[in-house]
Amino acid sequence: MRARVSHLRALLSRALAPGLAPPPARALPQITGPGESRFGAAFLGRARFFSADASTAAQGGLKPPAAAAAATTGGDGGGDGQSGKSEQADAGKSVRGGPVSWLSFLLLLVTGGGIIVYYDKEKKRHIEELKNRTSAVKPGQSVGTAAIGGPFKLLNHDGKPVTEKDFLGKWTLLYFGFTHCPDICPDELQKMAAAIDKIKEKAKLDIVPVFITVDPERDTVEQVRDYVKEFHPDLVGLTGTTDEIRKVARAYRVYYMKTEEEGSDYLVDHSIVMYLMNPKMEFVKFYGKNYDTDSLADGIIKEIKEHK
């Protein structure tokens, strides 16, 4: 047993000694004798393992230092070269094959900014052209008037038939209402009466005030006559059949409708507008409830002077 252990140690010493060639491969003797201990078998098994590793190490150590260095350097250099090439290829791919490179992103910003600036300039230019077209008045260009007014045939507060032709040659101020109106119609008619008196006083102009009912069912000739006398001696009251009132209201774009009907007692919702008509019975301008007496009189005087 001791002889075999000494032999094994000698083999290991020679294998691990630097600069020595490895011994020829030789199998270690098997311990198969019945008298051998388990410790010896395990020791010899491990010795075979260490012997193989030592032989491999010794063979590697026999390479010349320059060759080993060259091999090491070449192997490492080849690996580094391949690794460097791979990294460069990956870097190139990340720049060239990516979704957006820095150069393309910069070009996109420049192009987008140019488009925005161009669009803004074109928009401003278009708006300026529209303003110029709107404000510029071309020679010979006429301004159209609203399609308000038209022929009608009604009865005055004296029961005589009248048409729009009976008002030709005079400036006329029309108002649509009804005699049972609780507050708005009386206020508007009082304003109308005061305005025409002020116009006559300031501008020496005669205006014919006209009241046309939108409640023909209750506003008879007699009812209208009694009503208009309460406001002005020159106020002309007109009434007619339901169909005739509907036609004249439609011609002057007047809205009216019955509301809160309880038997014969009801109100009429209607437009609160006065229409200024020139001596040809053509529409000139309308005046709403927001005009007071002075602004109404001054507005009518201004329109009449401009049309002369």
Binding-site members for Cu cation are: 181, 185, 270
User: 């401009």: which residue's tokens?
Assistant: 306
The b/e string for 5-30 (b: 16+ C-beta within 10 A; e otherwise) is: eeebeebeeebeeeeeebeeeeeeee
SS3 labels along 210-240: EEEECCCCCCCHHHHHHHHCCCCCCCEEEEC
Residues 200 and 217 sit within 8 Å (Cβ to Cβ): no
One-letter amino acid identity for 270? H
- Is residue 224 within 8 A of residue 237, CB to CB? The reply is yes
Dihedral, CA atoms, 267, 271, 272, 273, nearest 10 degrees?
-150
CB 276 within 8 A of CB 171: yes
Max CA pair span of the chain: 162
Residue 165 corresponds to which tokens in the numbers above?
């032709």
> Three-state DSSP class for 204?
coil
Could you list the residues known to form a binding site, using ranges.
181, 185, 270
How many residues in total does the chain contain?
308
> What is the C-alpha to C-alpha distance for residues 268 and 289, in angstroms, rounded to an integer?
17
**Strand-pair partners of 262:** 265
